[in-house]
Structure 1
Amino acid sequence: MDFFRLRTLRELSRRETMAAVADALGISSSAVSQQIAQLEDEVGIALVERRGRGVMLTPAGQRLVLHADRIFGIVEEAKTDIAELQNIVAGDLRIAAQPSAASSFIPAAIRQLAIDHPHLDIVMTTMGPAEGVAALRAWQADIVVADDISFDPHTLEGTADTLFLCRDQLFVLLPAGHRLESESVIELAQLRDEHWALDVASGAYSMAIRQACRDIGFEPVINGFSDSFEVVFALVEAGCSISVMPGLALRDFGEGLTVKPLAPSTYRSIHAITRRGEVRNPKVAAVLDQLVKSAPRDLNRS
């Protein structure tokens, strides 16, 4: 059986539409259909069936995907063993990082790695933690940088390794001249009557903030949703909204914003996630080591 066809079926089991698989693999939807049809010819049994606009795997398809997972795992383990023996930091490496990490310390890490290891080619893509972990499982990413608010690293036990990078404190963003501007710290309860703008690049993060408000007895009134820090900053700076954002996202906030620590002090942990055992691969180990060195040690703005 052809490896690429197996990978195509594996992607289809996770993404459920030919178009989504085509985007993930960088081929056309018709090519995806062709790969699946050829794989069905190879094994002599139907692997997928149409369901509305999407497709579902047949029992045979589901069984084959389980074998494909094992096959690709063994191949990656073999690659790691050979790379470890060669002890060469070279080749391609893909990082999937949530936007706040991708826009803060990871570029500095990539720049230093280019100096230290000129034969290592790194490609970074911004993704939410859940999407990044899906890419890791599909061998479309080698390292995922994610926080423990948006994704629980413990759900990966046995299948992945996690490395702590840094703690990131949460802050309240206020427009200049806001009634709470003189406060040294701000509690969520003090924001009960405000309009909120939330970063929804990670749906889990925005849901965690909303749930924290509900836990103390109020539903935040949201007048801005955006997957762009700049839009949230603009809404707050214009006096339309307030927000709660992590310190890593506040590198370039404007002078029209006031930033105050959230009380009680609230933190998230940033982790690097890799497939189980791949920390032995020299290129993965080199990147993890540099991420630890580049991650900020102190994000306290109080």
Structure 2
Amino acid sequence: MHQFRMLRELATLGSVTAVADSLGVSASAVSQQLAAVQRGFAAPLTRRKGRTVVLTEAGLVLADAGAKVIEAMADARGAVEEFEQSSTGEVKVSGFHSAGQALFGPLIAELDGAGPDVRFTDEDVAQSEFPALTARYDLVLAQRMEYGPMWPSSGLEVLTLAREPLDVALPATHPLAGLSEISPTDLVGERWVTSRRGYSPDDVLAAIAAVANRPAHVAHRVNDYGVVAAIVAAGDAIGILPRYTSVRAHAQGVVLRPITGIGAARSIDVLARPENLRRTSVRLVAAGLRRVMARLVAST
């Protein structure tokens, strides 16, 4: 594009010196660019005319074609800018299960049918797999244990929505339900329902077992927090549930108690490619998620 501009200016202004003055560069820089263009064509593009350099007929044809390319690129940039500035259009959002259950419905109400056309998908994957989802979705709701690896720093924007503790989930009639907080040693000998390996509840349970120096008795491995809450409420096992996003737990007669002595919290983040966050519609959805999450935390 820079070389096309050189040709166009030379066709218009008639000399290398005038082109250099117009573009704010040295005459030698203009000459170098013209030489670079010439290497791509067999026909001579410039010729000497007295003490100056002018375009040949072939050079004039290329300059004219290049001007059309410059105009087309300007139109393309304008179209992209219009697209980025629009508050409408489709915005694809993925979320892990508990975030989707807690945030997707309220986000629809928050946007109130105006602006972006939000398309939701649930993607419950291990922490290491969340960044790759940004290739398919505009916004990815992801979870990361606070002591776990940080998200990649290259080609990824991270917007933190909340730090969410993971608590022990107990039936209301359980003897430990009367405590304000629970230590790992209090949980020795309990029967557990936890997630599959590689997910945050199982990470927390592994930390509990390590601090208590006793293996955990795992009876069930279930990733859906609604099912976990139902099993806990039935009195068959105790579990680990997130404090803010396990929306069904309290309604099922389950109580949550904080765990002492371990790092039992996760970060709920929005991951996105930087180019996606240039779009007004995507930023509107991200801002809506922030507000919905803030209200959820405040109400818990």
- TM (norm. structure 2) is 0.65
Conserved? CA contact 1:80–1:278, under 8 Å: no
Conserved? CA contact 2:144–2:267, under 8 Å: yes
Q: Report what 2:244 is aligned to.
A: 248
Residues 50-109 of structure 1: CA distance to partner in whole angstroms, max 9, x if unpaired? xxxxxxxxxxxxxxxxxxxxxxxxxxxx89981456621122111110111111123212
Conserved? CA contact 1:106–1:294, under 8 Å: no
Structure 2 residue 117 is the aligned partner of structure 1 residue 92: no
Q: Determine which of 178, 194, 201 is the counterpart of 1:198.
A: 194
Distance 1:162 1:229, change over 3 A: same
Give, as a single letter, the amino acid of the residue that structure 2 aligns with 1:271: D
Q: Determine which of 207, 221, 227 is the counterpart of 1:225.
A: 221
Larger Rg, first or second structure (1 or 2): 2
Q: Report what 2:282 is aligned to.
A: 284
Distance 1:301 1:163, change over 3 A: closer
Task: State, as a whole percentage, how many aligned pairs show the same letter.
Answer: 24
Deviation at 1:244, TM superposition (A): 1.3
1:6-45 pair list within 5 angstroms: none
Distance 1:275 1:127, change over 3 A: same
Conserved? CA contact 1:248–1:299, under 8 Å: yes
Distance 1:221 1:261, change over 3 A: same
Deviation at 1:272, TM superposition (A): 0.5
Helix, strand or coil for the counterpart of 2:92? strand
RMSD: 2.9
Q: Report what 1:263 is aligned to.
A: 260
Residues 252-301 of structure 1: CA distance to partner in whole angstroms, max 9, x if unpaired? 22353222222258432211100123211111111111111111357489
Q: Determine which of 204, 220, 225 is the counterpart of 1:209.
A: 204
Distance 1:142 1:280, change over 3 A: same
Distance 1:301 1:110, change over 3 A: closer
Distance in 2 (CA, whole Å) between partners of 1:166 and 1:292 is: 9
Give, as a single letter, the amino acid of the residue that structure 2 aligns with 1:92: E
Conserved? CA contact 1:94–1:142, under 8 Å: yes
Unaligned 5+ residue runs, structure 1? 1-77
Give the number of equivalent residue pairs. Answer: 220
Helix, strand or coil for the counterpart of 2:287? helix
Moved more, 149-158 or 83-92: 149-158
Conserved? CA contact 1:171–1:245, under 8 Å: yes
Distance in 2 (CA, whole Å) between partners of 1:153 and 1:89 is: 34
Deviation at 1:155, TM superposition (A): 3.4
Give, as a single letter, the amino acid of the residue that structure 1 aligns with 2:269: H
1:104-183 pair list within 5 angstroms: 104-117=102-115, 120-130=116-126, 131-137=129-135, 140-149=136-145, 154-183=150-179
Conserved? CA contact 1:197–1:242, under 8 Å: yes
Unaligned 5+ residue runs, structure 2? 1-75
Distance 1:257 1:214, change over 3 A: closer
Helix, strand or coil for the counterpart of 2:175? coil
Moved more, 160-169 or 289-298: 289-298
- TM (norm. structure 1) is 0.64
Conserved? CA contact 2:146–2:267, under 8 Å: no
Report runs of 4+ in structure 1 exceeding 6 Å deviation.
Answer: 78-81
Distance in 1 (CA, whole Å) between partners of 2:124 and 2:147 is: 9
